[in-house]
Amino acid sequence: MSASTPQFKVFSGTNSRYLAEKICKSLNTPLGIMNIEHFADGEFAVSYEESIRGQYIYLIQSTFPNSDNLMELLLMIDAAKRASAYKIIAVIPYFGWARQDRKDKPRVSIGAKLIADLLSVAGVDRVITMDLHADQIQGFFDVPVDHLYASRIFVPYIESLKLDNLVIASPDVGGSKRAGTYSRFLDVPMVLCHKTREKANVVGEMRIIGDVEGKDVIIVDDMVDTAGTLCMAADLMMSNGAKSVRAIVTHGVMSGKASERIMNSALTEIAFTDSIPFDCNKCSKVKVLSCADTFADTIERVQAHRSISEQYIIR
């Protein structure tokens, strides 16, 4: 950082501290001191234990389950605003509720828009996030959104595998744009999985559109929750003659029996970022790649008023 760069401090919510510490190490700055006091009924209160008056404040917190992570972030923003911070930037590696981005049936909430409104009302000035479930969620905010792409992390990983018969796959039609960008950049074919759902997290039927025989397949997706779709796709591709199947997924939510499903599936390996904490001892097929340097670089660019898009490999 140059001498003319405005002062900034980085703080973290409880469950994203592991990532905040990595980001601060990359930035060569200490993690700010903050206290979260819990009461007997489950309520909690946030307080900053150092002055933040007139400074840029970066609050690192993924809003993965449970809802306490979101509530912590809202209170952190409110406390920073009341402590006269100059700018409050929410760094949300994993933006929860992003699957609720539209009315896909009557009388349902649009959770992503509600969360965007809550953050704005709390007093956030900017949001930095990565691989939203749908790009249009950026438009739900009335403040600037820096939308990062995990391709900067995953492309070098894919290239390091040195696969001769590489094919990029999308586990559903909705992810075809994301898979298509990898396919074009790497100059390899792409295949799609067409699925129908019986209900949320339950896949009814799936079929492959494209040729995977004798190919090394890499499935690309933004998140893995129960891993039902991903494992079904991997098993189906192997039964259709694929040589191997791997997956790269930005956010490893890994709910319920996801680890068990992946261990019992045809997947050779699954790689995801550390936007959400995961214990690799739960599943030996999981490889975690850190996104800390990506967020640290973005913070530096925001502070220096430099372009964010320069760091993108593919979008």
pLDDT per position as a tens digit, 242-290: 999 999 999 999 999 999 999 999 999 999 999 999 998 889 999 999 9
pLDDT > 70 in the chain, percent: 94
* pLDDT the model gives residue 194: 82
CB atoms within 10 A of CB 3: 4
Q: Which residues pair with 169 in a beta bridge?
A: 191, 219
- Distances 7 to 2, 85, 153, 233, 299 between C-alpha atoms, Å: 10, 11, 28, 48, 12
Longest alpha-carbon distance in the chain: 61
Least reliable range by pLDDT among 129-138, 202-211, 212-221, 243-252: 202-211
For strands 44-48 and 34-38, give the pairing. Answer: antiparallel
Rg of the Cα atoms in the chain: 20
Return d(Cα 56, Cα 6) in angstroms, integer: 7
Name the residue type at position 18.
Y
pTM of structure: 0.93
Instruction: Give yes or no for residue 218 having a pLDDT over 90.
Output: yes
Round to whole Å and give the CA distance between 315 and 305. 21
**What's the confidence (pLDDT) of residue 235?**
94
Q: What is the pLDDT of residue 255?
A: 93
- Helical residues (DSSP H) of 97-211, grouped into ranges: 111-122, 151-161, 176-186
Can you give the pLDDT at residue 6? 57
Tokens of 138: 């950026």
Question: What's the pLDDT band for 201 if we cut at 50, 70, 90?
Answer: low
Choose among 146, 129, 136, 81: nearest CA to 113.
136
Rama region for 90: left / alpha / beta (φ>0; ψ in -120 to 50; rest): beta
3-state secondary structure of 114: helix
Tell me which of 25, 103, 113, 195 is the catalytic residue: 195
pLDDT at 62 over 60: yes
- Is 7 a residue whose pLDDT tops 70? yes
> Alpha helices, DSSP H only, in 194-242?
228-239
pLDDT at 173: 82
Give catalytic status of residue 195 as yes or no: yes
